[in-house]
Amino acid sequence: MINGITERQFETIEGGVCAAKGFRANGLNCGLNSDKKKNDLGLVVSDVMCGAAAVYTTNKVKGAPILVTKAHLAATGGKTRGFIANSKNANTCNADGVEKAEKMCALAAGALGIDPKEIVVASTGVIGQILPIEPIAAHIEELAAGLTYDGNRKAANAIMTTDTVMKEIAVAFEVGGKRCRMGGMAKGSGMIHPNMATTLNFITTDAAVSPELLQRALSDVVKVTYNCLSVDGDTSTNDTVLLMANGLAGNAEVVSEGEEYETFRSALYDVMMRLTRMLAKDGEGATKLIECECVGAPDLDAAITVAKSVIRSPLVKCAVYGEDANWGRILCAIGYAEADFEIDKVDVDLSSARGRVAVCRGGAGVAFSEEEAAGMLAADEIFIHIDLHQGQAHAKAWGCDLTYDYVRINGDYRT
Amino acid sequence: MINGITERQFETIEGGVCAAKGFRANGLNCGLNSDKKKNDLGLVVSDVMCGAAAVYTTNKVKGAPILVTKAHLAATGGKTRGFIANSKNANTCNADGVEKAEKMCALAAGALGIDPKEIVVASTGVIGQILPIEPIAAHIEELAAGLTYDGNRKAANAIMTTDTVMKEIAVAFEVGGKRCRMGGMAKGSGMIHPNMATTLNFITTDAAVSPELLQRALSDVVKVTYNCLSVDGDTSTNDTVLLMANGLAGNAEVVSEGEEYETFRSALYDVMMRLTRMLAKDGEGATKLIECECVGAPDLDAAITVAKSVIRSPLVKCAVYGEDANWGRILCAIGYAEADFEIDKVDVDLSSARGRVAVCRGGAGVAFSEEEAAGMLAADEIFIHIDLHQGQAHAKAWGCDLTYDYVRINGDYRT
């Protein structure tokens, strides 16, 4: 149990955001990206109106698309038909940002023959450059006409920026005797930090769940998945997690907490946790995923704070890159975590598919074989296990190593 | 005025920690460092007892030397004759850490013929490896016998770890009609972040100032100098700032606030600010110093929070390395600073010795010449100017760019 959520692994299925019934998707290159092989504009639409829940960046600088998405969901009472998204330009910190974001919705709605308020919008890319609307306008008919029930990969490609791999997942689960599906796509990969990231995350499901429970489940899950992700400690201006439920699975709407809600929420945790791991593993320049688990914490927030503190430490990240079992840096990062606990009870182990090494007991180092540790750290998924031994709460956080390529990618991103 | 302190530039003099009357220093290689040309053990001693003030790391993991230093200063009522310091081993997270730190003091005191409580101790280097005391014991007589009134560089060399340059400064000032001197030495250079760092900072002065005012001045100054320094966001376990005043300048002891205290505190600001800049400029792998000034803030803490948020952003740091005027990342870092202000009033300029470019007005980007900006950013000291336009407070923070070399240095530090 993390944050009251039962961790379960569900049946993995194909289809990403199109795995759930009644969702069509498309993506194409409209010219924002000069690489014509890379999509830069995506559209995902449900056949029927969806209940929607969303979580946004906590940054004071909020991208214009977020302002427009919020306004549209407010206008429709939390319902939407779908979203349009672009990469290459964040449409943020521009005087005409809201106007352009509204225009994107209007263009999509026009091509679909629906109300602009029934579409929401997301943008990712460079901040502070005027978004040219012409390329989008010129391709909107083609984009809408090409929507298909298996177009998920085209849309997933459209939202990628410095991502090196496409991030999609889908699972099947049963609610009220009906088989339901939930799928998601996400993009990273720099400027990712607790309380969101330059991540765009879109989750679709055909389960019928009341809007209130959708938002509750999303908030519970985000706290222990996306918000426990850190690639570089920067919190972006455009982060959005959007969950859309269209009810086409045919289950009786879940309107109260109970077993069905628990199953739905566990499925959401499974989807979002797996997307979070993908985002961490594909952090800018990353060669290794780092998963840090903190158990034995006095409360959930302490567990999260400790796990995140370790995940975001540049020195820990460099040590993992160098396959160096420098546990002193881990203890140091635990030590500056802003939570209330005693450091001299703390145990730390490191593990991977290649083995597990105890490195710290009761806040002090223990002898271990450097050779064995180095062999273990040669894996591409590294686990840091922290036991505070002062409570029952636990949490996980995800991140990646800090490498030369991170510096290369971010030293000259705009040009 | 920063934090009520008048910024003044004082006469620079030679001598580092030996610039003040009656301070002798020495340093040598005792064998902790296998590079025999690099000192690893230093000793600084005043001819007479000093009043002492100190500030330590806020990390829960506190190096054993800090525990011993605190205990010794408590035992003597805040007085000390001097300190012994080593590099290469932090003597932290070891079961026998306190015993070894006490032993270092006892060895130094024995060689000097004084009480062990009259010596304090600092260690820097790898965490969690047992400190071998034998090399120190074997060289302590030689170290004490070699103390001289111009040995400051030998001691400054002894505390360096990955530092590429020695960090020393000294100034002269007048208090009560007497010429006084104040000098300092510091070491960086990774794991440096607000609320201290793997920095060791030792300041000596021959001014006579009461213990209470020494501590007050040090706390005021640390808040707006060292604690506004960030190299990589990590807060170390061993950070110590030690200020020693032996009164040999002959001024009547400063015992209350007023003009003399103000002068003393301004001198302390000048010394510590200049050491802070040196630490930032020599951050691990750094090629450029970044100084971020936030003016127009509602209060000092908001100004500090904003300036530090920008300084520690990995994306800003990479952009400066790449000489890319990616001001959107600066605005983003301002936006996630945890302070209460409106983002849409914010102006940002970038400058260097090569010019100044306005990049953001009222929270939105303004047109500027990329060529001009790139030329300006080619300098090795980059200034970021932020005006929140919502108050009178201001603060500065110092940091450096994030480079390939940071990753290289920290990917394999122990081996």
Q: Please tell me the predicted confidence (pLDDT) of residue A235.
A: 63
**pLDDT value at residue A414:** 52
Q: And the tokens for A120?
A: 């929401």
Q: Tens digit of pLDDT for each residue in A237-273?
A: 778 899 999 999 999 999 999 999 999 999 999 999 9
How close, in Å, is residue B26 to chain A by CA atoms? Answer: 30
Q: Which residue, among B123, B241, B92, B306, has the nearest Cα to A335 in the 3D structure?
A: B92
Report whether A130 contacts A88 (CB < 8 A). no
Alpha carbon dihedral A256, A258, A261, A267, in 10-degree steps, equals: 170
| pLDDT surpassing 80 at residue A192 | no
| pLDDT at residue A315, rounded to an integer | 85
Find, in chain B, the residue whose alpha carbon is nearest to that of A59.
B336
Dist CA B339 CA B300 (whole Å): 11
**Range A353-365 average pLDDT:** 94
Q: What percent of chain A is predicted at pLDDT more than 70?
A: 95
State the best of A237, A290, A329 to mutate against chain B, taking most chain B CBs within 10 Å: A329
Whole-number pLDDT of residue A404: 84
Peptide bond into A123 cis (omega under 30): no
Inter-chain CB proximity A93 and B414 less than 8 Å:
no
Q: Which of B69, B80, B92, B198 is catalytic?
A: B198
CB B156 within 8 A of CB B167: yes
User: In terms of Cα–Cα distance, which of A305, A326, A298 is closest to A314?
Assistant: A326
* Tokens 């740091």 found at: B317
Domain map (residue ranges) of chain A: 11-281, 289-411
E strands, A304-392, where?
347-352, 355-361, 364-365, 381-387
Residue A59 touches partner B, C-beta closer than 8 Å: yes
Backbone angles phi, psi at B177, to 5 degrees: 75, 0
Q: Which of A131-145, A335-349, B221-235, B370-384 has the lowest mean pLDDT?
A: B221-235
Chain A partners within 8 Å of B400 (Cβ): none
Summarize the confidence of residues A155-162 as an average pLDDT.
Answer: 93
B374 closest CA partner among B360, B354, B398? B354
Q: What pLDDT score was predicted for residue A329?
A: 87
Q: Write out pLDDT tens, residues B354-369.
A: 999 999 999 988 999 9
**Contact, A197 vs A280, CB < 8 A?**
no
Q: What is the mean pLDDT of residues A209-221?
A: 95
- Give me the residues of A, 131-160, that contact B with CB < 8 A: none
Residues of B in contact with A399 (CB under 8 A): none
Give the three-class secondary structure for A266: helix
Task: State the nearest Cα–Cα gap between B222 and chain A, in angstroms.
Answer: 18
> How far is B202 from B186, CA to CA, in rounded Å?
6
pLDDT at residue A410, as a whole number:
77
Tokens found for residue B117: 């409580």
B328 → chain A, closest CA residue: A127
Contact A61 B335 (CB under 8 A): yes
Report the Cα–Cα distance between both ends of chain B, in Å, rounded.
45
- Is the model's pLDDT at A163 over the cut of 90? no
Residues 6+ apart with CB under 8 A from B134: none
Opening angle at CA A311, ends B324 and A221, nearest 5: 105
Q: Does A96 touch chain B (CB under 8 A)?
A: no
Q: How far is C-alpha B54 from the chain's CA centre? A: 12
Number of A to B CB contacts under 8 A, please give it: 194
CB nearest B332 (choices: A237, A333, A409): A237
SS3 A337: coil
Contacts of A95 in chain B (CB under 8 A): 364
Distance CA A29, CA A32 (A): 7
Q: Could you give phi then psi for residue B356, rounded to 5 degrees?
A: -140, 135
Q: Cβ B93–A360 below 8 Å, yes or no? A: yes
Tell me if A86 sits within 8 A of A40, measured CB to CB.
Answer: yes
pLDDT digits (tens, 9 = 90+) for A101-113: 999 999 999 999 9
CATH code of the domain occupying B289-411: 3.10.20.340
- C-alpha B161/C-alpha B198 separation (Å) is 10
Which parts of chain B have pLDDT scores under 50? 192-197, 415
State the nearest Cα–Cα gap between A325 and chain B, in angstroms: 9
B107 to each of A3, A141, B117, B143, how far by Cα in Å?
A: 53, 82, 11, 11
Say whether the peptide bond before residue A313 is cis (omega within 30 degrees of 0).
no
Residue B20, Cβ density class (10 Å: 0-12 exposed, 13-18 middle, ≥19 buried): buried
Quick one: tokens of B83? Answer: 């300190």
Q: What is A1-31 written as a DSSP string? A: -BTTBPP--PEE-S-GGGSSTTEEEEEE--S
B233 vs A: CB within 8 A: yes
| pTM for this model (two decimals) | 0.82
What per-residue confidence (pLDDT) applies to A189? 63
Q: What angle do helix axes B404-411 and A314-321 make, rounded to 10 degrees?
A: 70
Taking CB atoms and an 8 Å limit, are A332 and B58 in contact across chains? no
Single out the residue of A202, A179, A201 nearest to residue A192, CA to CA.
A201
Range in A54-68, A346-360, A371-385 the model is least confident about: A54-68
Token couple for A27: 């993506």
Does an H or E element contain A203, and which? strand A200-205
CA angle (B159, B160, B163) in 5-degree steps: 160
Q: B363, A235: Cβ pair inside 8 Å?
A: no
CA-nearest residue of chain A to B190? Answer: A315
- Please report, for residues A266, A327, A382, B94, B172, the alpha-carbon distance to residue A347 in angstroms, rounded to integers and kept in the order given: 29, 11, 17, 14, 50
CB contact under 8 A, B413 and A343: no
Residue numbers in A near B337 (CB within 8 A): 60
Taking the Cβ of residue A360 and every Cβ of chain B, the question of whether any pair is shorter than 8 Å is answered with: yes
| Residue B96 tokens, joined | 């026998």
- Distance CA(B25)–CA(B30), nearest Å, equals 16
Q: Which CATH class is domain B11-280?
A: alpha beta
Architecture of domain A11-281: 4-Layer Sandwich (3.60)
Burial class of residue A165 (count of CB atoms within 10 Å of its CB; 0-12, 13-18, 19+): exposed
Task: Please identify among residues 258-317 of chain A the ones whose CB lies closer than 8 Å to any CB of chain B.
Answer: 312-315
pLDDT tens digit sequence for A22-61? 999 999 999 999 999 999 999 999 999 999 999 998 788 8
For A134-178, give the DSSP string. HHHHHHHHHHHHT-BTT-HHHHHHHT-SS-SS-EEEEEEEEETTE
d(CA A407, CA A412): 9
Residue A409: pLDDT band (50, 70, 90) is: confident
Residues 179-198 of B with CB under 8 A from A: 190-191
- List the 16-55 stretch of A: residues with Cβ below 8 A of B: none
Radius of gyration of chain B (CA): 21
- Going by pLDDT thresholds of 50, 70 and 90, the confidence category of residue A194 is very low
